[in-house]
Amino acid sequence: MAEVFAALTTSHVPAMGAAVDLGKTRDEYWRPVFEGYEFAKRWIAETRPDVVILVYNDHATALGLDVIPTFALGCGAEFEPADEGWGRRPVPMVKGDPELAAHIAQSLILDEFDLTLINRMDVDHGLTVPLSMVFGQPEAWPCKVIPLAVNVVQYPPPTGNRCLRLGHALRKAVASYDRDLRVMVWGTGGMSHQLQGPRAGLINSEFDARFMDLLIDAPEEAASIRHVDYLRESGSEGIELVMWLIARGALTPKVRAVRRFYHVPASNTAVGHLILENAI
């Protein structure tokens, strides 16, 4: 049987992707960030997932103007890294898992999550930067990736509670797939940041630390954080953190945090990263 055996969360700051692409990861500015992901690189080489369900948001690239799905599952066989206006990132094509995605779609919809299904979509930095941070620069990504795009651009995003429940349903969906697959769920985006208005540049390290504490040990409490509190405390773009709750929900109620990393800044953003394993 298939199983979700671990979750990974990480910021997906575009400048981190650019640092990889331009060979700047050892520069003074970037070194502390990339050293923070050395553990993840070793860990992923040991744990070798077959499939990553990658929760991210599109940033006015493939979605966001004419069609705004709250939850959209990528069911295609492949997804091309997007041209976001400065050329495509020099990273491998993202290979999907249409069979597992179809199974998950059916399971989630019957579990009352009214998903949008997407067969063709370019994927932007929200999806490709986490892959680069964890896998580096391989010729081909070493596992299949099912994109799960969440609207966090047009207010309101789904509630934290809804995201946590979706994670629970995702766990069930994967567990009812009758092939032996080791599946991970990644939650990306955040941490605190605001990219607009006179309050641009907001960072709230205390909020971020507390969010990580709650996500690990009290996910129901993390799920009850209200949208207005994300906006006020973590900045207008910090609300991306609801996506971490999907990854958390896909694990057992108790988890082990095998990695926790935090750094300010990457460009305008606080970088946070967790690796969680089922603890039962």
- Note the residues at the interface with Fe ion (CB under 5 A): 126, 189
DSSP character for 230?
I
* b (16+ CB within 10 A) / e for 225-259: beeeebeebbbbbbbbbbbbbbbbbbbeeebeeeb
Give which of other proteins, Fe ion, none residue 270 binds (C-beta under 5 to 8 Å, depending on kind): other proteins
Question: By three-state DSSP, how is residue 3 classified?
Answer: strand
The binder of 64, among Fe ion, other proteins, none, by C-beta within 5 to 8 A per type, is other proteins
Q: How far is the CB of 227 from Fe ion (least distance, A)?
A: 16
Q: Residue 133 interacts with other proteins (CB under 8 A)?
A: no
Q: For other proteins, give the closer residue by CB, 111 or 213.
A: 213
The binder of 194, among Fe ion, other proteins, none, by C-beta within 5 to 8 A per type, is: other proteins
Shortest Cβ 240–Fe ion spacing (Å): 5
Q: Which residue has the tokens 């995605």?
A: 101
Residue the block writes with tokens 């769920």: 185
Which residue's CB is nearer to other proteins, number 46 or number 86?
86
**Between 161 and 267, CB nearer to other proteins:** 267
Cβ closest to Fe ion, residue 25 vs residue 188: 188
How would DSSP label each residue in 95-121? E--HHHHHHHHHHHHHTT---EEESS-
**x/- track of binding to other proteins for residues 99-128 (CB under 8 A):** ------------------------------
Tell me whether residue 10 or residue 25 sits nearer to Fe ion (CB atom).
10
| Minimum gap (Å) between residue 144 Cβ and other proteins | 27
Compose the 216-255 pattern: x for residues touching other proteins by CB under 8 A, - for all others.
-----------xx--xxx--xx------------------
Which one among 7, 9, 53, 59 touches other proteins, defined by CB under 8 A?
A: 59
Assess 201 for contact with other proteins (CB under 8 A).
yes
Name every residue whose Cβ is closer than 8 Å to that of residue 13 and which is 6 or more positions away in sequence.
129, 266, 267, 269, 271
Going from the C-alpha of 65 to that of each of 39, 58, 68, 69, 236, the distances in angstroms are 38, 11, 7, 10, 19
CB of 189 to Fe ion, least distance (A): 5
Applying the rule CB under 8 A, the residues between 136 and 175 that interact with other proteins are 153-156
Number of Cβ within a 10 Å radius of residue 8: 28
Nearest to 4 by CA among 39, 43, 47, 37: 47
Structure tokens, 203: 């960072």
Residue that the structure tokens 């991970």 belong to: 184
CB 205 within 8 A of CB 193: no
Q: Which residues are catalytic?
A: 125, 193
The residues in 75-94 that bind other proteins, with binding defined as CB under 8 A, are: 83-86
Question: Which residues make up the interface to other proteins (CB under 8 A)?
Answer: 59-61, 64-65, 83-86, 153-156, 192, 194-205, 207, 227-228, 231-233, 236-237, 264-265, 267-268, 270
